Each structure stands twice: as C-alpha cells, then as structure tokens.
Chain A
Amino acid sequence: MTIPAIHIEQVHKHFGALRALNGINLTINQGEFFGLLGPNGAGKSTLINILAGLLKPTQGKVSVMGHDVVNDYQAARLSLGVVPQELVFDPFFNVREMLRFQAGYFGRGRENDAWVDEVIENLGLTDKAHTNMRKLSGGMKRRALIAQALAHKPPVIVLDEPTAGVDVELRQMMWGFIKKLNADGHTIILTTHYLEEAETLCERVAMMKQGEIVALDTTANLLNKLAGKNLRLKLAAALPTTLLPLLKSGENGVYTLALTELNQVEYVMSELRKAKLNIEDMQLFEADLEDVFMSLVGGNAGGE
C-alpha cells in the first residue's frame, strides 16, 4: 500500500476551554485534489496549522508522506508547501530573491533555479521577478505567496483560501497551474470560500463544522446523495403556503424550491393548480455543493 500524502488520526486541539478540533480522522491519498470546506471557526485553519507545524495538536497524530509532523518534523516539512491565508510578505526583497531564499531554507541550491523560474513564469510573475515585494499589487502578492510555497517543489501542497480577493484572470491562471501540478503527481489540499471552485476542482471534499468532519466523500457522491434538485418558478402571485416547507429562496416572484426527489415536481404542480396560479417560467436544475454545504453545516456558510 502506498503511503498516504496526509494521515490525520484522532486529532484534538484545545485552546483553553475552546475545543477547536474534536477528534479529526482523515486520510488524503497521494495525487488527490482534496477540498476542505467549512464555515468560519470550523477548524480548517487550525488543522492546516497543525499540518504545517505552526501549532501542536493537544492529542492525536498527523503525518505528511508518512512523516510525523512533530517527531519527524524536518522530513514532514520538506514534503509540504503551504500557501498561507494572510497576504504576508518580506518587504526587503524582490520576488526572485524571496523564492531563492525560500528554496534555500529547504536545502535547495542553484540546481533549483530552473524550477524557480518555471514557477515564476507559470504564475505570470516574469515581469515582476525583480520588483520588491512591497511594491506588488494585492493580486501579484498572492501569486508570489503561491510561488513561495512551491519554491522547494513539495509533493504535497496546501492552499488556504488562495483565491480570496483574486480576480478572475488570476484565478484561472492559478488553477491552470495547480491542475498541471496535480496532473504531475502533486497532492493538492484546498480550502476555499468559493464552493463552485471546490466542486469543479476537487475529487473529494471534507466538510467541517465546529471542529468535526461532518461529511467526507467524493464530490460526485455528496452531490448525488445530498443535493437533490432545485425547481425555480416564476409566479404571478405569492407561493401557496403548502409549498413553503420546500422553499429555499424567493424574491420578486421567483421562488426556488429544494426537492429531494424528482416526483415532488408532480406535487408542486398540483398545489399550484389548486391555488389557480399561473406559472410564468419554470426551470429544473441540479443542486450544487453549496446546497450540500448548507444542508450539512447550516446557515453560517463561508470560509474561515
């Protein structure tokens, strides 16, 4: 059996009385594109910080490529590249210098420069390679931050909210490059605000709530099992009260109903007929990961 990229076993993290993580178990295989989702305070960043060695678990074991993050931290960190959530930078150096330093900390020398140049090029930083980090725009700083995590060519890459505040063009360029890395065998772990990103990119997702994993499955299975269908109706008058339990959202005469089974359409139609309501428009569409997310973690959707 191959060694998992990430293995998390019964991990607890307490900050005084606050239980940030409550017995997390999770295995991520090599080569996976994995999504970690959850509302603010769910414990995603705490988990990533434990993985990265920035926090110590109160209890439990975490390993990266088979190396324990506490007892064998050097090997674990050599295998891991982390893109932090905060837009941090060193104000004294330019992009290329920072990347070379970062690779150097991991023991990489001149032989790594070609890889650094490849990262710079793939993230669209070529024009800015000699620009001081302080003078970069927010989007460029974000690119540099991603580049720094990749500088030592780690097999496992963790991206903590990498697209927060990033424009569409960069997002596409970034995902193109990350997908290429994934295709080359790198394991990718992603936390994101944008659920449609997780839906299109991640093969598997874990949803966290209050320090626990509440769902862990392939994205396709989660959508099949939990999402159902959405029925959008444009009506001339208000929705009959009998249909209110199905109502997901509604404004300006457009109502979206969440259906767990397709034959509920028949029930909706009969209720509308009974109320003698005219349907001005109707659409039936698949629910998305956001619906799964909402049904599992409740109203407080969003990233950490």
Chain B
Amino acid sequence: MKQINRPLEQSWRGTYTLFKKEVLRFWRVAFQTVASPVLTALLYLLIFSHVLEAHVEVYKGVPYTAFLIPGLIMMSLLQNAFANSSSSLVQSKVMGNIIFILLTPLTYLQFFIAFLAAAIVRALMVGLSIYLVALWFVDLPLVHPLWIFAFAFLGGALLGTFGIIAGIWADKFDQMAAFQNFVIMPLTFLSGVFYSIHSLPPFWQTVSKFNPFFYMIDGFRYGFFGKGDISPWISISVVAAFLFGLAWLALKMLKSGYRLRG
C-alpha cells in the first residue's frame, strides 16, 4: 500500500491524538480504572498478609507481605493493561463510534501503537500507585530496578496487545467478560502471585511453566529481591517471545480489517 508524502509530524500527530484520547478516556473515569484496582490489590494485601504473614516464608529473610506485593502489583498491572485496550475497543464497537477512527488516514500500525501505549500508561499508573501505597505497610527492597521496569513495561505491552486482539474479536461485552474471567483471571491467580511455584507438587510446577503470567511475575519479583524461581533472562525471553507473537497476530488482524472493515 502506498504511503503518502505527508510531513512525518502530521502523520504521527494522528497517532499521538488517538493515544491522548485513549489516555483521557480512562483518566476521566480514574476512580474505576485506577483507584478501584489499587483498592482491590490492597484488600488482597491486608487479608493475605494478615492470614499468612506468621506462617509462610517463601524466600529466606523476606516477609510474606513483602513477597506478596510485587505479585499483586504485577497482577493488577496485567489485568488493567488488558482491560484498557479491550474495553475501549469493545465499547466503541458496540456504540459504533469506532467509525470515527476507521474513517481516518491512520495506518494499522499507528492504530496499534496508540491503543497499546495507552494500555501501558494505565498499567504503569496502577502498578506505581499500588507500589506507593504498599510502602506504608512494608519496606520493599529494589535490588534491580531495571528488571522491575522491563517486566512492568513488557508485561503491560503483552496484556495490552492481548486486549487489542480480544477487543477486535469480541462483539459483545459478554464475550469480553468471558475472556477476562475464564482466561486472564485463572492465568494470573495460578501464576505465583500468592506463592512460589517451588511449593507446588512437581506436576503443577510443570503446568505453571506453560503459563506466560508466571514468567512476568517471577521476573518482576526478581527485580525487587534478587531472587526468583527461575533466571530473569529466561523469563524476559519468554515474555518477549509471547509479546512478538501476539503483536504479530494483532497487526495481522488490524491489517486485514478483521471484524472492523468488511
């Protein structure tokens, strides 16, 4: 397809506008999109740390509450990245206002980048908020901040991309809820948010290793404590591979106009 000779600035202003609109969209309802997941994570933190603090020590010298926080941050971050792109797309498809974007000269790549970047921004905002609030409860080390950022960013990107795919595919809110409840929730809960997979029987340890969420959470936690179930290099490779695979699929869907253009 022919790319027209437009000043680069003009062409990317479209992408920036869509990104800005997507960020404002969730920011306008920040109680629901940022404050509410932070509160949910804190409730998990209060309940689980109250019940388990005295009984469980996953890593030597790391209190259970401290162990739990990175898991909770990553869980919320991933869920919100997915929720942002998927709900925005499904809502604008159901309402019909997706047409305003489809009528524009934005390329499929620009469309993808804008939705993805907004999902990452919300994910990082939620993650950072939980981290800041959690500091009231416990001292958290930051052994490898770069690993923390890398996993937060790539995790947000992976789930944001997955949200774009789900949002393009789903035609109803019901289908979206099914995605969230039957795919995202089980995969996050069974990924080591609340435990180390070393505490599982061998069979379930193996099963966990097929769950990409496990690598995101384990790598993220490694950044805080310098300890994890597996090497962060393996985790980052797995996350990057999944991200490339899903991004390829999302771009293929957008390029073909699947469920967006007839």
Interface positions of A (Cβ within 8 A of B): 15, 49, 52-56, 67, 70-75, 77-78, 80, 82, 84, 86, 88-93, 98, 101-102, 104-109, 148
Interface centre among A67, A88, A92, A93 (most CB of B within 10 A): A92
CB of B211 within 8 Å of the partner chain: no
CB of B199 within 8 Å of the partner chain: no
Contact of A53 with B103 in the complex, beta carbons under 8 Å:
yes
Distance in angstroms from B94 CB to nearest chain A CB is: 10
User: Scoring B residues 6 to 46 as 1 if CB is less than 8 Å from chain A, else 0, what string do you get?
Assistant: 11001101101110110011001100000000000000000
**Given the contacts A74-B6, A107-B6, A107-B11, A90 and B105 also touching, CB distance less than 8 Å:** no
What are 10 A-B pairs at a CB distance below 8 A?
Answer: A15-B262, A49-B262, A53-B103, A54-B103, A70-B1, A73-B105, A74-B4, A90-B97, A93-B21, A107-B13
The 7 closest A-B pairs by CB, nearest first: A104-B17, A107-B10, A88-B96, A74-B105, A105-B104, A55-B262, A77-B105
**Given the contacts A107-B13, A107-B14, A53 and B21 also touching, CB distance less than 8 Å:** no
Distance in angstroms from B102 CB to nearest chain A CB is: 6
In the assembled complex, the Cα of A80 lies from the Cα of B261 at a distance in Å of 17
A contacts with B: majority SS: loop
Contact of A52 with B103 in the complex, beta carbons under 8 Å:
yes
Interface size class of B (residues with CB under 8 A): 35 or more
**Given the contacts A92-B28, A104-B17, A109-B13, A77 and B4 also touching, CB distance less than 8 Å:** no
The answer, among B28, B104, B261, for a CB contact under 8 Å with A77, is B104
CB of B206 within 8 Å of the partner chain: no
**Given the contacts A88-B96, A88-B99, A109-B13, A56 and B104 also touching, CB distance less than 8 Å:** no
CB of B60 within 8 Å of the partner chain: no
Distance in angstroms from B250 CB to nearest chain A CB is: 19
Contact of B24 with A93 in the complex, beta carbons under 8 Å:
yes
In the assembled complex, the Cα of A101 lies from the Cα of B101 at a distance in Å of 10
Contact of B92 with A104 in the complex, beta carbons under 8 Å:
no
